[in-house]
Amino acid sequence: MRAILSDVHGNIDALDAVLADIGGRAVTSIYSLGDIIGYGPNPIECLDRAAAWDLNVLGNHDHAVLFDPTGFSPNAERAALWTRVIVECARREELWTFLSERPRQFRDGDFLFVHGSARNQTNEYVFPEDVYNISKMARIGELIDRYCFAGHTHVPGVFVEPEPGAQWQFLSPEEIDHTWRLDERKTIVNVGSVGQPRDANWRACYVTLDGLDLTFHRVEYDVDATVKKIYSIPELSNFLGDRLREGR
């Protein structure tokens, strides 16, 4: 069984809670779909945890820390620049090597793993409302052999193409009782976010994949501890803490 997670965003309290939850399951590998860092107060600790996992693809915030936070909001830009300073001050070359060697995608048979989308692996968002953007979903669908797992939006759920050329559907975890069995249809699974959920649910989110059986998991953690750490760092906007309590 694989555990697949994304968008930790430097939130070690959420990550450690998720790893404890994973430890209680028959998980044999951990895949991360990017954005281990950015926004949160504990980038070094999160990178150390991630280095032991079976897969880490590159996220846009990981890329921004390596290079430049182009196109980021002011809060995100400041967080990326602060994170870069923290990683530099750690004086650990292996952290930079780890980040720089992350692939933008990984294929395993019918499965594609990316941060954003099959079309733009690092930066493209696929939101639930994009099912109404017929041309966008058609183009993305053409690049998927069967199944694609992604993060980036921080909104978990399952996108399904009922039949070739038909309008895609989006199903939230609540609509499917948090479980789904992959079938012959093309499917995109957004695994949600560990460190900064944005689906009005503050609990950390990840999925497990057992064969073709998918389960969404929500894990409580000490969100107030993370908020206090963010408040204590002048370079990180208080908004980045406030949003954690609301899942937005």
Decide if pLDDT at 184 tops 90.
yes
Q: What is the pTM of this model?
A: 0.96
User: Does the pLDDT at position 75 exceed 90?
Assistant: yes
- d(CA 183, CA 220) in angstroms, rounded, equals 31
Residue 157 confidence (pLDDT): 98
The predicted pLDDT at position 164 comes to 82
pLDDT number for residue 143: 96
Contacts of 95 (CB under 8 A, 6+ apart): 44, 47, 87
Which one has a higher pLDDT value, 166 or 225? 225
Q: What is the mean pLDDT of residues 135-157?
A: 97
Q: What is the pLDDT of residues 100-138, one digit of tens each?
A: 999 999 999 999 999 999 999 999 999 999 999 999 999
pLDDT-based confidence at 191, cuts 50/70/90?
A: very high
Q: What type of residue is 30? A: I
pLDDT over 90 at 167, yes or no: yes
C-alpha angle 143/147/149, rounded to 5°? 95
